[in-house]
Structure 1
Amino acid sequence: MSETINASTVRSKTSRMSSDKLAEIEQLLARRREGFSLEAPFYTDTQLFQFDTEAIFGQHWLFAASIAELPEPGDYVTVDYGPYSLIVLHNDDGGINVLHNVCRHRGARIMNQSSGTTGNLVCGYHSWTYSPEGELIYASIPGEMDFNKQCFALRRAHSRVVAGLIFVCLAEEPPEDFDHVSQIFEPYVAPHELTKTKVAYQQDLIEGANWKLVMENNRECYHCDGHPELLCSYFPTYGLTEDLVPPHLEEAWERSIQAEDVLRQRCQRYGLPYEEIEELDTRVVGIRIARDALDGEGESFSVDGRRLSKKLLGDLPDFRLGRCSMHLQPNSWFHFLSDHAITFAVFPIGVDRTLVRTTWLVADDAVEGVDYDLQQLTHTWEQTNTQDQELVELAQRGISSPVYEQGPYMRSEYQVEAFINWYIQRAREYMP
C-alpha cells in the first residue's frame, strides 16, 4: 500500500530550503544504489539532516511515550527532536493532548522539564497561561487583553493511543495508513496491558551518529557477536535462513527451531497471535511484528532466560512466551515479554547526534527489591545499548572520511535494506 503526502503541505515546508539544495537532494535520492549503504551526505550533511526533520520527522507517525510514563491526569512528558519540542499531556478526560512547546507570545519554551505534573501551562517568561487543552486563558495584564485569545492557543499535533502506546504526528494531514497498522499490532500488544504497567527505569543515551545509522544498526543482527549479554537469551541466528547459518551457529539454529515450535504450541493454546507480519517498506507506516522464542528458559532477557520479574503483565497466562518484537518505521522498536516490556524511541538531535530513549515497564503492582531487582532487569539492554552506541559512532566516524564508499548489505541485513527503501520512498514523496 502506498500513500502520497498532500502536495501543498510539502511545498510550504520544503520552501525553507533553497531550490539548489533540493535539486542536490533529489539527485542523491535518484542515485540510490539498491542493496548498498547510502552515500555519505545522507549521514553527514547538515542541510540533508534538516530535510530529514521535515520530510520524515515532520510528516510521519512517531512513537513518543507509553501511557505508563504519564499515568495520571496532569502528568506530562516533553519530547524533543530536530527543531521541535512537544508537550505530551494526560488530560482531565483521560485522553492525551499533544501541544507544541512554544509560547504564542514571543516563542519561549514553556515546559522545561522532561516530565512532571501540571495544572495549567504557564510560560516562565511573561506568565502567559494555557489550559491543558492549549487555550490561552491569561496574559499577565488583563487590561492588555484586547485581542482574540482564541487566535493564540498553543499549536496542536495529532496523536493516537494504541494499546498503551502514544504516537504523534506533526503533519497537517497525517498518513491514514496508521489506522490499519494499529489494527495489525494491537492484538499482539494488548494482552500485555501496558495501561497497567509502571516505569521501572528510563535511560536517555546520546549517540554520536546520524539517526539513520542508529536505526540501521537495530535492523540487523550481523553484529550481534558484539552483544554477549544479549546472546544469553537472544538467538544469534536472528535474520538468518537455513542456508546462511555458519557452522559455529548450527547448534543454536537447531535450538531456535525447537524453541519456536514449543512457543507456537503455547501461543495456539492461549489464543495469542504469533505469526510474523513484515511490511517494512511496502506501506507508509512500515511494520514488522512477531512473537519470537528466547533461548534458555525462554522467559526473559536474563543470563539463563528466566523471568526477571515475578509479576506477569496483564492477563498473560504463562511466563514462557518469548518476546513479542515490533519494529515501526521510522523511529521505534519494542520488546513485549511476559514479565516486562521495553520501548525504544529514537529522536534526532543533530546531523551526528541522536537520542535513544529506552524505557523498562513492569506490572504496576510489582515492587522493586521484592518482585524484581532493577539492576538485573535492565542489565542486558543497558549493556547492549552501550555496545550499540560504540558501534554506530565508529560507523559515523568512518562515513565522515573522504575515502568512504558505499558497501553492500549482506543477505541477513535485509531489514536494513527495507528501512533504507522505506526512507528513500518517503523522501521522494516529500519532494515538491
Structure 2
Amino acid sequence: MSETQCKTHGELIRSRQSGHGMPGELFGRQDVFETDIKVFFHRHWILVGVTADVPEPGDVSVVDIGKASIIIVRDDDENVRTYRNVCRHRGARLKEVGKSTVGMLVCPYHQWTYDLDGSLRHASHMGKDFDSTCRGLMPVHTKIVGTHIFVCLAADPPEDIAKLEETMTPRFAPYDLRNTKIAFEQEIIENGNWKLVIENNRECYHCAGTHPELTASFLPEDFGFCPDTLNEEALRALDEYKARNAACQASWEQDGFVSAPVERLDEDAVTQFRTQQLVIAGNGESQTLSTRVASTRLLGNLQRRDLGDMHLWTHNSWTHVMSDHAVISYIIPLAPDKTLVRSKWLVHADAVEGVDYNVSDLTEVWIATNTQDKHLVEITHEGTQDPAYTPGMFSPFTETYVDQFSRWYAARLSAHGI
C-alpha cells in the first residue's frame, strides 16, 4: 500500500502543496467520493434544475444526488416545490429520475397519494386513529434565483445563500428568466472526477488550443496571459482590451445592467460563487459562431443585443446569459470516475423554433465545447490515476481560480471536521 493510500481524506488535501494540483487519491478513491457527496452535495446549496423544467402545474422533475433523490414539482398555484422522493409509508421511491406530469403523487407500492403541496391525501387500511396531517412529503430547503433552482439537503442549510440571491436577483431581473422555455437539453457522462470537471471549468488556459467554437466569442485576453512575456504590440492590445471592457461596462451600467465582478470563492465562503459580465468578441451579441444572436426574440423585454455574457459559477454549476438565450449547466457526481453534466439552453417562452431561432445555431458552440471538455476531463482523470502522477504547478496567471477552488475545498472539509 502506498503512502498516499494510508492517508485519510483530510490528510490528503492538507498535503497539497500550495499552488499545485491535488493528490491523485482525491480523484480516485471511493471513500473520498462518498465524503464529497455527503459534504459538497448534501450539506451545501447545489443547483438541480431550472423553473422551465416544470413549466405547468403537475409537471415533475426528479433528480438523484448520491443516495438521495428529490422531486421538483409545480403545484396548482404555480409554485415550484421540492420534496424528498421517499414515501412516508415504507420509503418507496414515488417517481423515477426524469420528467413527467401528474395530477397527484401516488406511491406505486401501496398507493399512498399526495397532493402537489406535499400533503397526504389518501392512505387506505390505516384505521380511524391514523393522523394523515403529520405524514406529508418531506420538503427540501429551496431557493429560486432567477430561474435557477438551488436546494440544500441539510437540516440547517448555509445562510450565505442570501448573498448569492442578493447579488444575482438584480442581474437576472432584466432577462426575465422565469419566462423562458427549454429549447434544447443535453446530458453527458464524463469519465472523470467531479472536481476535475469544476477545475476544467475554472480556467481558460486550455481554451485557445481546444475550443475554437467557444473562443470565437471571447476576447483573447479573457483566456489569461503572462505579463512577463508581452511585447509592445501585445501591451497595446491589452490596453485596448481594458478600454473596451470599461466602455462596455459603463454603457451597461448606464442602462441599468449590473455588471461589475463579484467573487465569493475564498475559504471563508460556504456558498461559493462568482459572477461577471464579459464582453463578447466579433459582433458582440451572443455565444454563437457568428457572434450574433441565435434568437431574434430577445429575453424579457430587452432591446439591446450587445449585453455580453453575464456568467455565474457555483461549485456544481456554470451559467451564461446573453440577450437572446441562456446556457445553464450543472453537475452530479455518479462515481469517483463518473460525472453527469446536464446542460439546458433557454429562450424566451414565446420564441418560435424555425421562426425566431433554430436549434443548431443556438447550441453548436456549447455542444462542441462540452464534447471537448469531456475529453479533457477524461484524459486528466486517467493521468491522475497513473502511478507516475505528481501534482504539477498551476499557472499563476491563468489557473488562479483552480488553486482557489482547491483551497476552498480543503477549508470546507476542515469545517466539517475532516
TM-score range, shorter chain: over 0.9
The amino acid that maps onto 2:402 is V
Identical amino acids, percent of aligned pairs = 38
Equivalent position of 2:52 in the other structure? 68
The amino acid that maps onto 2:204 is C
Structure 1 pair 238/127, CA: closer, same or farther in 2 (3 Å)? same
Task: Give the secondary structure class of the aligned counterpart of 1:142.
Answer: coil
C-alpha contact 2:142 2:151 (8 A) present in aligned 1: yes
Equivalent position of 2:417 in the other structure? 431
The amino acid that maps onto 1:413 is E
C-alpha contact 2:94 2:105 (8 A) present in aligned 1: yes
Structure 1 pair 425/248, CA: closer, same or farther in 2 (3 Å)? farther
Task: Give the secondary structure class of the aligned counterpart of 1:195.
Answer: coil
Q: Partners of 1:69 and 1:266 in 2: how far apart?
A: 34
By how many angstroms is 1:92 displaced?
2.2
Q: Partners of 1:245 and 1:126 in 2: how far apart?
A: 70
Q: Partners of 2:370 and 2:233 in 1: how far apart?
A: 24
C-alpha contact 1:70 1:90 (8 A) present in aligned 2: yes
Alignment counterpart, residue 294 of structure 1, candidates 280, 283, 288: 280
Task: Give the secondary structure class of the aligned counterpart of 1:396.
Answer: helix
Can you list the C-alpha shifts for 1:307-357, whole angstroms capped at 9, x where unaligned? 1110111132300111101112x2011101001011111111111111111
Size of the aligned set, in residue pairs, is: 410
Alignment counterpart, residue 307 of structure 1, candidates 288, 293, 311: 293
Alignment counterpart, residue 235 of structure 1, candidates 201, 214, 219: 219
By how many angstroms is 1:135 displaced?
2.6
Aligned pair 1:127/2:111, yes or no? yes
Equivalent position of 1:377 in the other structure? 362
Question: What is the correspondence of 1:363-402 to structure 2 with a 5 Å cutoff?
Answer: 363-402=348-387
The amino acid that maps onto 1:324 is M
Q: Partners of 1:143 and 1:23 in 2: how far apart?
A: 52
Q: Partners of 1:41 and 1:100 in 2: how far apart?
A: 32
Q: Partners of 2:312 and 2:61 in 1: how far apart?
A: 23
Equivalent position of 2:408 in the other structure? 422
Structure 1 pair 184/249, CA: closer, same or farther in 2 (3 Å)? farther
Aligned pair 1:186/2:169, yes or no? yes
Can you list the C-alpha shifts for 1:211-257, whole angstroms capped at 9, x where unaligned? 10000000000110200111111223325257167669938756643
For structure 1, the 5+ residue unaligned runs are 1-20
Can you list the C-alpha shifts for 1:115-158, whole angstroms capped at 9, x where unaligned? 1222211122222222223233323x335575443443322210
Q: Partners of 1:293 and 1:285 in 2: how far apart?
A: 26
C-alpha contact 2:205 2:224 (8 A) present in aligned 1: no
Can you list the C-alpha shifts for 1:293-320, whole angstroms capped at 9, x where unaligned? 0110110112231111101111323001
Q: Partners of 1:85 and 1:427 in 2: how far apart?
A: 23
Structure 1 pair 229/152, CA: closer, same or farther in 2 (3 Å)? same
Aligned pair 1:149/2:132, yes or no? yes
Aligned pair 1:39/2:23, yes or no? yes
By how many angstroms is 1:261 displaced?
3.5
Q: Partners of 2:133 and 2:390 in 1: how far apart?
A: 54
Question: What is the correspondence of 1:311-330 to structure 2 with a 5 Å cutoff?
Answer: 311-328=297-314, 330=315
Q: Partners of 1:395 and 1:23 in 2: how far apart?
A: 22
Can you list the C-alpha shifts for 1:84-114, whole angstroms capped at 9, x where unaligned? 2110111223322211112233332211151
Structure 1 pair 65/255, CA: closer, same or farther in 2 (3 Å)? farther
Equivalent position of 2:336 in the other structure? 351
C-alpha contact 1:245 1:253 (8 A) present in aligned 2: no
Q: Partners of 2:102 and 2:232 in 1: how far apart?
A: 56
Equivalent position of 1:260 in the other structure? 245
C-alpha contact 1:237 1:249 (8 A) present in aligned 2: no
Task: Give the secondary structure class of the aligned counterpart of 1:334.
Answer: strand
Q: Partners of 1:231 and 1:249 in 2: how far apart?
A: 21
C-alpha contact 1:298 1:306 (8 A) present in aligned 2: yes
Structure 1 pair 209/145, CA: closer, same or farther in 2 (3 Å)? farther
Equivalent position of 1:170 in the other structure? 153
Scaled by the length of structure 1, the TM-score of the pair is: 0.89
The amino acid that maps onto 2:259 is Y
Equivalent position of 1:209 in the other structure? 192
Q: Partners of 2:56 and 2:114 in 1: how far apart?
A: 19
Equivalent position of 2:254 in the other structure? 269
The amino acid that maps onto 1:81 is I
C-alpha contact 2:317 2:329 (8 A) present in aligned 1: yes
Scaled by the length of structure 2, the TM-score of the pair is: 0.92
By how many angstroms is 1:362 displaced?
0.4
For structure 2, the 5+ residue unaligned runs are none
The amino acid that maps onto 1:283 is A
Once the two structures are overlaid, the 10-residue window that deviates more, 212-221 or 92-101, is 92-101
Q: Partners of 2:154 and 2:263 in 1: how far apart?
A: 25
Alignment counterpart, residue 42 of structure 2, candidates 45, 58, 65: 58
Task: Give the secondary structure class of the aligned counterpart of 1:325.
Answer: strand
C-alpha contact 1:266 1:321 (8 A) present in aligned 2: no
Structure 1 pair 237/106, CA: closer, same or farther in 2 (3 Å)? same
Aligned pair 1:220/2:220, yes or no? no
By how many angstroms is 1:376 displaced?
1.0
Once the two structures are overlaid, the 10-residue window that deviates more, 304-313 or 245-254, is 245-254
Alignment counterpart, residue 160 of structure 1, candidates 140, 143, 166: 143
Equivalent position of 1:103 in the other structure? 87
Can you list the C-alpha shifts for 1:20-61, whole angstroms capped at 9, x where unaligned? x99822322332322111111211011111101111111011
The amino acid that maps onto 1:297 is N
C-alpha contact 1:120 1:129 (8 A) present in aligned 2: yes
